[in-house]
Structure 1
Amino acid sequence: MTVASFRPHPEPDGVARVTSTAAELLEVLWGRASTAPVSASQLRVLLILEHHEGINLRTLADALASTPPSASRLCDRLQAAGLVERTVSPSDRREVRLYLSGPGTAFLAGLRARREEVLRAVLDQMSPAHRTALLRGLEAFCDAAAVQIHGDTRDMGSRTA
């Protein structure tokens, strides 16, 4: 399906198919921007810790839809690689808090830079009007996804349609 095949008011099913295809293409493109030395699951942990620094293992396991022992093993490997730090909670010595380390933060910044470089090569092939339309659509998509995921309505309506 191409952009030219869209109707003025595309149905959600058609848009979902194109969005799914775009996500698959992003996976292929981003595969060129290697996530080594971490796996996809480990990358999810790093991204969660970036947005929820200091969470405990149980909360991380819930966010991963996993078990605490599985999440702990992921963190063991990330800690051994120097990307995650564990500290004892000041309020409960039995609880461990998880943080990105300096190298973990640098790894994510480098990964994003590599991914953006790959995306820029694709976006450079698009007209300015198509890039503008893509940006507006993606902003609206991100707002709607945030509501779906977090129930967060703070940004809704802050962008014009």
Structure 2
Amino acid sequence: MSILSMNLLIGTVCFTIAFVFASLVEYWMHRLMHKSPRIGERHRDHHRRNEGQGVLWEFRDYVRGTAIVMLPMFFVSIAAGVGWTLGGVVYAAFSSYAHQLQHENPTKCFWMKMPVHYVHHKYGMWHHNFGLAVDWWDHVFGTYKAVDWLTEEEQSQPERNYLQLRWW
């Protein structure tokens, strides 16, 4: 195997692990925000307003909060560092978009059977459905709670495409 092939493999593996790890960290941070009065203060305001900040502002917060976790992999190798950092940044972008989409147009979240973050807000679920972009960890840790979420309210919304949402 050539050095280029090996570096591509290392980068791809690190990207994948970072993407999945970022989703796990996001899940547990969201749960922590519901438990800790100090950590969750801003989050409680988010629940009161029931709106996202906009994709770019969400992205800024996600990357700022995880930047320190991205750097150590560069001590392993450049390929590992690049893959790990890209995995984290791509997940942050995906999660920022998914979070805003669930607040504004939850029927477009085709990758989940039920848009868990939307349901989390709509039904005031303080102990269930903590995922923002994915529902994997809610299933793994037993916090997934299925509800009949697609009501007249969602079905009567005007048709919008995947990009018609608040970006900033």
Smaller-chain TM-score range? under 0.3
Relative contact order, higher structure (CA 8 A, sep 6+): 2
TM-score by length of 2: 0.25
TM-score normalised over the length of structure 1: 0.26
